[in-house]
Chain A
Amino acid sequence: MDRLTKDDVHPKILQKLLEDTDITVEDALENEMILNMGPQHPATHGVLRLLLRLDGETVIGCVPDVGYLHRGYEKMAENMSYYEFIPHTDRLDYISPMANNVAWVLAVEKLAGIEVPVRAQYIRMMIAELARIASHLVAIGSFAMDVGALTVLLWTFREREKILDIWDILCGARFTNSYTRIGGVANDAQPEALAKAKWFVDQLDGNLAECERLLNTNRIFIERLDGIGVISKEDALSYGYTGPNLRASGVEFDLRRATPYLQYDKVDFKIPTFTEGDCLARYFVRADEVRESAKIIRQVLQLMPQGEIKANLPKSVLPQKVEVYSKMEELIHDFMIVNFGINPPVGEVYHAIEGSKGELGFYLVSKGEGHPWKCKIRSPSFIHIQSLPHLVKGRMISDIVAIIGSIDPVMGEADK
């Protein structure tokens, strides 16, 4: 490594270095320290940088610095058609990839006014709930690992591998699978995949209870989390919380009930709510939501009708490959849709779903062309990280790790 010269240092920092002429401290009792909990850290769930002002071990102030994974999604969306953006939505919240696909195609279908057949809606519900279970398993596992219980991470990852196997059979990819299409889903759900999903939810309860036996009555776990990172109901709403974090503070708000989309009004599920608003409450909400999602999947597997899986609109929905290679009209439609995109009417639309971290929304502005004029991604992790300074004030450094784990941010979503 070459020695740093004057040109490598930023001019503002250089000026500060030249001004600071002695190493003495004015006040003998001044013992504040600025610590950088850098972007590369085992406990920050991705590339999040925190600048901490510490008095010994107590945190006085905290400034989060995001943007280390800013990949320019919104600018790229303005330059590619609605179909081409579907693989990109996978990489947003990369722990529950199917849910982002569902959110994007729902927003585009709302803009273009496309009706989706019922079987496709049920399949989308099933994969969205499987994505929620996968995400909560990782959240519980890594949260427990941050606090000190290393075994739970390996057990929850073992359960998650079973979900990835189901997705592998369903669409060919274990992870970042772009399974949904505008107007339906890519291919029909095989009976093998559905049988495996049923087997999975039946044995999930036992394995989850095994993990909970290690944690729920563990004195170290409870003392490490009880009363830490408390946020009140009014503050939570003011800071824009949605999802499990809001439900742990006492507000019973779930987008699947408030503005139902897909077929969520036909299935029956509870909304777990706790009132304390601390880290332990957020953990309990997630554990209960896994069970509620398993209940939803059981009902979906019973209610799923036979039928088509793609809407029958030749100008907007990609036709089947078999027909593209044999018939003329489908070939022309395929060519037009892939090259010029579907052309929704002029207008703007905002559609949000209840993702596993909170409310994931897409705001689309269309000027009648094949690509959006503007796309804004409302990501819940970005909003939740904003409230970190409020939560960690007065706490110790080891509590910061527990608080970040309980908020459960994913930097791919927060940095877009």
Chain B
Amino acid sequence: MGLEAKLRGDGFFVTKLDAVVAWARKNSVYPMPMGISCCAIEMMAAADPKYDIARFGSEVMRFTPRQCDLMIVAGTVTYKMSHVVKKIYDQMPDPKWVIAMGACTSSGGMYRSYSVVQGIDQFLPVDIYVGGCPPRPDNLLNALIQIQDKIGRTRARDFQNLKLPELNVIQNN
């Protein structure tokens, strides 16, 4: 991220370097499973031998945020838990992406009550929303493939030393 970020312009060498780096980044996405409730079980089912998630490069589900780049929020987020989710999101190093898995994280789901946050995009920037209650493991793998496409289109100059709000805008276009 240091040297190639200094290279600007769209010449042959820079775009090829960008493509190689993006290819490496997208085929080794390490998910951080924020498994809170029922969707976590379908996420575990996406990791079991039948719907193998390891064949897409997400071999390990690290439970420490410092080593991951994709956060899969799976389960209903309540107001009490939202502070914890935000703290863990802040602990992840850049570049990072977020999948909102299930109906509860996308919009509050079937819980229109006093203690459920109606969609995690009220406090987190989200890249992919996966519908379903819970989404089938195939659905989650589809979301992972779309995130990989999105990562494949990034360029090195997106990740320069920018202030945080600008980084949000570029990453979420």
Contact = CB atoms under 8 A, between A and B. Distances in A.
- In the complex they form, whether A and B have CB atoms below 8 Å apart is answered with yes
Interface of A: 1, 38-42, 46-47, 67-72, 75-76, 87-88, 91, 94-95, 138, 154, 157-158, 161, 164, 174-176, 411-412
A143 to B, nearest CB: 14
A47 B134 contact: no
Nearest to A93: B38
A154 B49 contact: yes
B90 A91 contact: no
A69 B81 contact: yes
Contacts of B44: 157
B41 interface: yes
Contact of A158 (B48, B80, B90): B48
A164 B115 CA distance: 31
22 contacts: A39-B81, A40-B63, A46-B35, A46-B36, A47-B81, A67-B80, A69-B36, A69-B75, A70-B80, A71-B78, A72-B114, A75-B114, A76-B113, A94-B37, A94-B41, A95-B41, A157-B49, A161-B48, A175-B41, A175-B45, A175-B134, A412-B37
Output the residue of B38, B76, B113 with the most chain A CB within 10 A. Answer: B38
Contact of A71 (B50, B88, B111, B133): B111
A47 to B, nearest CB: 6
B69 interface: no
Nearest to B51: A161
A73 to B, nearest CB: 8
A161 B137 CA distance: 12
B121 to A, nearest CB: 18
Contacts of B76: 69, 71
Given A69-B75, A71-B116, A39 B84 contact: yes
A76 B76 CA distance: 15
A176 B88 contact: no
B111 A69 contact: no
Nearest to B40: A46
Given A158-B48, A175-B134, A91 B37 contact: yes
